[in-house]
Amino acid sequence: MQQLQESTDADTSWFVQDRFGLFIHWGIYSLPARHEWVKQRERIHDGAYQRYFDAFYPDLYDPQAWAREAKRAGMRYFVVTTKHHDGFCLWDSDLTDYKATNTSWGQDLLAPMVDAFRTEGFKVGFYHSLIDWHHPEFPVDGLHPMRDNRDFIEANRGRDIARYREYLHGQTRELLTRFGNIDIMWFDFSYPHRTWGGKGKEDWGSDELMRMVRELQPGIIVNDRLEIGGDVVTPEQYQPRSWPQLDGRPLRWEACQTLNGSWGYDRDNLDWKPTDMLVRMLVDTVSKGGNLLLNVGPNARGEFEPKAVERLHGVGEWMRLHERSIRGCTASSFNPPPDCRYTQNGDRLYLHLFGWPFRHIHLEGLADRVDYAQLLNDASEVRMFVVDPNQRAQNTTMGGIPPGTLTLELPVTRPPVEVPVIELFLKG
Ligand code: GLC
């Protein structure tokens, strides 16, 4: 059930302006390269999983290059996995040895990343896993890699969630006091009813944790996965059918999506979304009042793989021409034609065409509302007219057009962009 516990302090003005961010899933799971849940899926014991910690050496890591790629793609904020479910930490935490600075790489990976993205003008977000499959006090449960290992469960019956909670709160404090102003805190995830030993707000001490987060970073945006709500709801790997609501009230929301079904680098996963689908997902999200957080899982050398770069460039080329149909835009009250979406920003209405119809498109309720229309990619005029609703169809003359409909005259040739957009200048 979606919940919200919005903080009046949370600064979301930039969030609803930017609309498009980069999600980064990176850690030692990039070495097995079989999805970020590999330890859980393959029931890998800590001892065996240690080989990835020992081999971790991202010699091609260049966070400036990541930030430039994200900027070029049109993204304006980023959220990175400071620690994922396997417990490995990207920063030099005082509270554990299981961190990047203890690998043969020997350096903090988070600080240079935050600096690089800030240099490109990005807002900074921290994903932090509530789950920890490495911590010795994290009680085994039905999701744990050792969930079927009777001996392990027996030997670890005495684990104390209170001591793990202390660790979780301590690390959260580190993250929110060492890296300057943090704009988003992205906790993941609560599962009180999903399996035996499921964990939720009591286990995490969510109320106290949320209080601390807001004290340390008053304007921060916190997501909705602490089981006590948050400032933004986070549908994952699906596109909501309409603007998510609670008791009839539209919610602030952000869809998080992968490029190929996996968050972490997954070498053999070929389920890649084509660029035009990614653009349509971005448009669809903003047309329903939401943000898109699009993920990249860098490989263990520290690079974005070519297929990811190719798609970021493709989305970026579309954003270069159509940025104003996304930034600061939201849902419109006008009803779009089939296979189209509207985004709106004040007196500018953007018609996004997912299909390219032959010659005409009819816009319900806009007959006397539009001053001018143009294709956004090249600012070429789109001619428009209103067909008399009483006009009868005959030969080349169309008829049966409902009253209040504005008809646009389209070129036969579809503009050479992932999703063509017509910018409509609404009358004042
Ligand atoms: C889910 C996945 C997790 C991923 C997160 C991102 O919780 O389990 O691996 O990090 O979604 O939204």
Per-residue model confidence as pLDDT tens digits over 110-134:
999 999 999 999 999 999 999 999 9
Q: How confident is the model at residue 428 (pLDDT cuts 50, 70, 90)?
A: confident
Which residue from 186, 188, 232 has its CB within 8 A of the most atoms of ligand 1, so it is best to mutate?
A: 188
Judged on CB neighbours under 10 Å (0-12, 13-18, 19+), 379 is exposed
Judged on CB neighbours under 10 Å (0-12, 13-18, 19+), 405 is middle
| Confidence (pLDDT) at 5 | 58
Q: Is 263 in the pocket of ligand 1 (CB under 6 A)?
A: yes
Percent of the chain with pLDDT over 70: 98
Give pLDDT tens digits for 119-172.
Answer: 999 999 999 999 999 999 999 999 999 999 999 999 999 999 999 999 999 999
**Sole residue written with tokens 């971790």:** 56
- Residue nearest ligand 1's atom 5 by CA: 188
**Dist CA 286 CA 263 (whole Å):** 22
Q: Is 133 in the pocket of ligand 1 (CB under 6 A)?
A: no
User: Under DSSP, is residue 230 helix (H, G, I), strand (E, B) or coil?
Assistant: coil
| Confidence (pLDDT) at 9 | 72
Residue 89 burial (CB count, 10 A): 29
| Span 59-68, average pLDDT | 98
Cα 188 to ligand 1 centre (Å): 7
Q: How confident is the model at residue 1 (pLDDT cuts 50, 70, 90)?
A: very low
Residue 260 burial (CB count, 10 A): 18
Q: Is 194 in the pocket of ligand 1 (CB under 6 A)?
A: no
**What is the DSSP secondary structure assignment for residue 415, as one 8-state letter?**
P
Query: Mean pLDDT score of the chain, rounded to an integer?
Result: 96
Closest CA to 284 of 374, 407, 382, 419: 419
Strand 184-188 versus strand 123-129 pairing type: parallel
Q: Is 204 in the pocket of ligand 1 (CB under 6 A)?
A: no
Is the model's pTM score more than 0.75?
yes
Give pLDDT tens digits for 75-122.
Answer: 999 999 999 999 999 999 999 999 999 999 999 999 999 999 999 999
Whether residue 189 has a cis bond before it, omega within 30° of 0: yes
Q: Is 213 in the pocket of ligand 1 (CB under 6 A)?
A: no
**What is the DSSP secondary structure assignment for residue 100, as one 8-state letter?**
G
| Span 368-386, average pLDDT | 98
Give pLDDT tens digits for 186-244.
Answer: 999 999 988 889 999 999 999 999 999 999 999 999 999 999 999 999 999 999 999 99
**Dist CA 132 CA 49 (whole Å):** 14
Q: How confident is the model at residue 8 (pLDDT cuts 50, 70, 90)?
A: low
